[in-house]
Amino acid sequence: MKRYLLASLVFTVLLFLWSGFTQMLPWGVPSTQKITVQSDNNTNDVPDLIRLAPGALTTSSFDSTFNHKISTYTTDGTFSWIITQPLTRDYSSYFIVEIITQFFVGLLLILLLVLTKNHNMQTRMLLIASAGLVAWLATYGQLMNWWALPATYAVGVGANLIIGWLLTCFIVSRFILKPEKL
């Protein structure tokens, strides 16, 4: 039982750090277009920020219509996917949810490693890579198709997911949940 608890902790920490690190890569957060229509101009430290006059894109009606919803917005020439939430300056709850998410991902990866304990390391890693590919295609493949998610972002995030799972599973398989002798 201690091995599973240790593996859960290792997965949680490594996946959390990996996801944070990879968001800084060119296809992560830096790939987003930054636009502001804030009237208080508290955004002086944001590089490449497109500033629009308050009311140019948003109004209180816009905020109340789109807040806490996934919406589509269509003009004569474009189709937009809008996910809106209240503006916050405290992101601690996001980190807590991210840690919990990575914990559950780790538990599921532990299950895969336990189910493959009678296989060699290469087979185990091939199964993990396949599971990562399935997760990526099921999520980002559909988003690229239906919501026109930029391919650069989707491929980058998919590579991050698969590489992150492989690295963490390799470490856990090598040092904690070793394959049984064949």
Q: Per-residue pLDDT tens for 44-72?
A: 666 776 666 666 666 677 777 778 888 87
Mean of the pLDDT values across residues 86-95? 85
Burial of 116 (0-12, 13-18, 19+ CB in 10 A): buried
Whether residue 81 is predicted with pLDDT greater than 70 in this model: the reply is yes
Strand-pairing partners, residue 69, are: 84
In whole angstroms, give the CA distance from residue 60 to residue 68: 14
CA 83 – CA 12 distance, rounded (Å): 27
> Whole-structure pTM over 0.75, yes or no?
yes
- Beta strand spans in 40-154 (E): 49-51, 69-74, 79-84
Residue 35: phi and psi, rounded to 5, are -125, 140
Q: What is the predicted pLDDT for the residue at 101?
A: 96
Q: What is the dihedral of CA 98, 103, 108, 114, to 10 degrees?
A: 150
Could you tell me the two tokens for 107?
């538990």
Is 15 within 8 Å of 172 (Cβ atoms)?
A: no
Q: Pull the structure tokens for residue 103.
A: 């914990």
Q: What is the pLDDT of residue 54?
A: 62
Residue 22, token pair as written in the block: 């990879």
Considering only CA atoms, which of 106, 87, 93, 102 is closest in space to residue 42?
87
pLDDT of residue 45: 67
Q: Which residue has the higher pLDDT, 59 or 178?
A: 178
Q: Give residue 177's pLDDT band: very low, low, confident or very high (50, 70, 90).
A: very high
Helices (H), strands (E): how many in the chain?
6, 4
